């Protein structure tokens, strides 16, 4: 069985690993997921991610190292998928909503790659609202 929404599958895998207090989570190797992980690492939501190659190239995956505070609390408190395969949601740079008064981030797919809401506003770029993370 194939997964139709691989972005939602990946962020839910990360959220479930956080809830189970695991150190790592694995997500499939897809170009857009690599870009999403790059943005999450840059904003401090994950510690790191590494590409793990298998003999079968189709089974390659990212190993995501989750980030926790000194108290053992996860940096990621929740995620919410916004744009779905059945309903795409787009916004111009001037109508991008803020997440929890800019405490969280909105991940956006634009013509210039995957960006956070703050970066999209600064560069005056709109795009597809993928998901929010806080």
CATH number, position 108: 3.30.1490.10
* Digit-coded pLDDT (tens) for 35-46: 999 999 999 999
Give yes or no for a contact between 120 and 130, defined as CB atoms under 8 angstroms apart.
no
The answer to whether residue 125 is domain-embedded is: yes
The answer to whether residue 24 is domain-embedded is: yes
The answer to whether residue 59 is domain-embedded is: yes
Overall domain count for the chain? 1
pTM of the model: 0.89
Structural domain span for residue 83: 6-133
* Digit-coded pLDDT (tens) for 19-64: 999 999 999 999 999 999 999 999 999 999 999 987 777 788 999 9
The answer to whether residue 1 is domain-embedded is: no
CA nearest neighbour of 93 among 125, 131, 59, 45: 125
Alpha carbon distances (Å) from 96 to 8, 24, 63, 108, 117: 20, 31, 30, 9, 7
The answer to whether residue 127 is domain-embedded is: yes
Give yes or no for a contact between 64 and 46, defined as CB atoms under 8 angstroms apart.
yes
The answer to whether residue 91 is domain-embedded is: yes
């Amino acid at each position: 069985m194939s997964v139709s929404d691989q972005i939602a599958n990946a962020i839910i895998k990360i959220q479930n690993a956080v809830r189970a207090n695991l150190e790592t989570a694995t997500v499939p190797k897809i170009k857009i997921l690599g870009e999403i992980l790059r943005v999450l690492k840059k904003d401090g939501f994950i510690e790191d991610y590494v590409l793990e190659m298998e003999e079968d190239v189709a089974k390659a995956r990212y190993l995501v190292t989750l980030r926790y505070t000194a108290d053992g609390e996860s940096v990621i408190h929740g995620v919410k998928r916004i744009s779905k395969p059945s309903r795409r949601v787009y916004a111009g740079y001037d109508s991008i909503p803020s997440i929890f008064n800019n405490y969280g981030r909105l991940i956006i797919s634009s013509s210039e790659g995957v960006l956070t809401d703050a970066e999209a506003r600064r560069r005056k770029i709109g795009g597809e609202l993928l998901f929010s993370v806080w």
